Amino acid sequence: LDFITIQNEVEQLLQYRELTPRLEEALGKFSRRDSAEVIQPVRTTVPLQKHSGFLGVMPTYMENDGVLCTKFVCFYKREEGSTLPATKATVMLLDPEYGNVKAVMDGEVITGMRTAAVSAISAKLLMRPEAEVLTILGSGLQALSHYNVFTEMFSFKEIRVWSRTRQSAEGFCRSVSGPVTVCASVEEAVRGADAIVTVTRCTEPVLFGQWVKPGAHVAAVGACRPNWRELDDVLMKEAVVYTDSREGAMAESGDIILSGAEVFAELGDVINGVKPAHRDKTTVFKSLGMGVEDAVSAQLVFDQWKAKASLP
Ligand SMILES: NC(=O)C1=CN([C@@H]2O[C@H](COP(=O)(O)OP(=O)(O)OC[C@H]3O[C@@H](n4cnc5c(N)ncnc54)[C@H](O)[C@@H]3O)[C@@H](O)[C@H]2O)C=CC1
Ligand SMILES: O=C([O-])C1=[NH+]CCC1
């Protein structure tokens, strides 16, 4: 087997049931900073000024697992009302011994699913167990993948969505399998919510601490540039802040850098039992996205593809 391209099949091959435990294990490995387990530098970002975007290159090597992977992801600050996607990604698996490419995969489903699954892991660790109300801010690709995994893993009594236009929020409701309440404002959507997922492309704060219920858990997924924001200073300073990678957060998260908030722990530290999960307090998980998440996802797709094709 030399080189394969897996495009539309990714959706059929990747299931949260198998993916989520692998991601949890990978987050723990990353936070141990053992180079035999994971080598993953902060992503290299090249500005695409003419197109208001960035190319992110995200290499990862997992020596013990024999996984070498890189993702190329372009992400854009789109014009108001643009229907073009915010991100476009390709994932490449390589053979660590010979350096040849083993597989090239479409990165859209991988990025959608692994990001949502990591947010769900943050909720599993940091959200109050009696949580009843989930709010999703944004109605794009990540909103959908977050809806899918959060409803698979938890039983919320109410799910709310807010988007910039009522039309896009209603479109989101039609695309999902269960009831969702469309809210006219962010404040209406988040008041009283136990879990809040922010998956917008905004570059200024959209979620304000004064509206957030004490003890709520926020998974903040957008705003992945050092001068972009989704959350305000009040929320960042009042909450206990967790992230995927400290180095990534200090290089890329406007919400952390510009608010001056302290990062309490990585999710992997909680998984490894070296830092506590403050479920009783308001918590923010600031997600930037990591190469190791793409690497384990791509390896899972590859293994499933080989099993389906009955290859050794
Ligand atoms: N942390 C991570 O690992 C990852 C983060 N992302 C980020 O997540 C965010 C969402 O990604 P997708 O769902 O793929 O994008 P998308 O383009 O499919 O959806 C974006 C949503 O944000 C809304 N939006 C756009 N501009 C806005 C504004 N100024 N204020 C409020 N809402 C606005 C849109 O109406 C849409 O509902 C993006 O910021 C993207 O860069 C994406 C992939 C991975
Ligand atoms: O990890 C990822 O793929 C991304 N993070 C921000 C935009 C894309």
Its ipTM equals: 0.98
Q: Are 134 and 156 spatial neighbours (Cβ–Cβ below 8 Å)?
A: yes
Ligand 2 mutation pick, 27, 43, 70, 73, max ligand atoms within 8 A of CB = 73
Q: Would the CB of 73 count as within 6 Å of ligand 2?
A: yes
pLDDT of residue 1: 54
Q: What's the sign of the alpha-carbon dihedral 257, 52, 73, 235?
A: positive
pTM surpassing 0.80?
yes
Number of the ligand closest to the Cα of 203: 1
Q: Are 281 and 275 spatial neighbours (Cβ–Cβ below 8 Å)?
A: no
pLDDT of residue 5: 73
What's the 157 CA to ligand 1 centre distance in angstroms?
25
pLDDT of residue 3: 62
3-state SS, residue 79: coil
Q: Are 96 and 66 spatial neighbours (Cβ–Cβ below 8 Å)?
A: yes
What's the 86 CA to ligand 1 centre distance in angstroms?
6
Nearest CA to ligand 2 atom 7: 75
Number of the ligand closest to the Cα of 164: 1
Q: Are 137 and 195 spatial neighbours (Cβ–Cβ below 8 Å)?
A: no
Q: Which two tokens stand for residue 241?
A: 């802040």
What's the 163 CA to ligand 2 centre distance in angstroms?
20
Number of the ligand closest to the Cα of 91: 2
For the chain, count helices (H), then strands (E): 11, 14
Q: Using CA atoms of 13, 148, 289, 182 in order, give the dihedral in degrees to the nearest 10.
A: 150
What's the 25 CA to ligand 2 centre distance in angstroms?
20
Ligand 2 mutation pick, 74, 224, 293, 296, max ligand atoms within 8 A of CB = 224
Number of the ligand closest to the Cα of 145: 1
Nearest CA to ligand 2 atom 6: 224
Q: Per-residue confidence of the chain (312 residues) as pLDDT tens digits? A: 556 777 678 989 999 999 999 999 999 999 999 999 999 999 999 999 999 999 999 999 999 999 999 999 999 988 777 878 889 999 999 999 999 999 999 999 999 999 999 999 999 999 999 999 999 999 999 999 999 999 999 999 999 999 999 999 999 999 999 999 999 999 999 999 999 999 999 999 999 999 999 999 999 999 999 999 999 999 999 999 999 999 999 999 999 999 999 999 999 999 999 999 999 999 999 999 999 999 999 999 999 998 888 777
Distances in whole angstroms, Cα of residue 176 to Cα of each of 76, 141, 147, 170: 25, 12, 8, 10
